Amino acid sequence: GLYYIEVTKNGCTSSDSIYIYKSGVNVFMPNAFTPDGDGLNDVFKPVSSEPLQDFSLIILNRAGEVIFESTNSDIGWNGKYNSILLNNGVYVWKMVYTAYSHQKADKVEKMGTVTLLR
């Protein structure tokens, strides 16, 4: 947005303005979560400064099996597979989304790991 400032000191006034624009979407993925039902860090999902478009998230176990999929960034993984809470461990995730900046669309692919702690 466009911001203005005006300063008056000893009867003299000076003013200026600056335009600040946001470049891209900031997305954070936690590296651990605790699906223990206490209402804190119970679901693994992205934290984003903007809604994510064309979103997909998959979680894989050590054998490379897909144990969770979502196409809605508001719906995360609760640590379960086939309604059974999985054991503590490290799981691989892959996320794809479209980021819009300066009227340009960029496909973003990210991969990482998350530790499930109970």
Burial class of residue 29, CB neighbours in 10 A (0-12, 13-18, 19+): middle
| pLDDT tens, residue by residue, 3-14 | 888 888 898 888
pTM of the model: 0.76
Task: Tell me, rounded to whole angstroms, the distance of Cα 4 from its chain centroid.
Answer: 32
Cα dihedral: 113, 62, 39, 108 (round 10): 40
Residue (of 19, 13, 17, 21) closest to 4 by Cα position? 17
The pLDDT, as a whole number, for residue 81 is 96
Which amino acid is located at 4 in the chain? Y
| pLDDT tens, residue by residue, 80-105 | 999 999 999 999 999 999 877 666 77
| pLDDT tens, residue by residue, 14-69 | 888 887 655 567 899 999 999 999 999 999 999 988 788 899 999 999 999 999 99
In angstroms, rounded to a whole number, what is the distance separating the alpha carbons of residues 73 and 96? 10
In angstroms, rounded to a whole number, what is the distance separating the alpha carbons of residues 8 and 55? 49
Look at strands 32-33 and 104-116 and give their pairing: parallel
The pLDDT, as a whole number, for residue 42 is 96
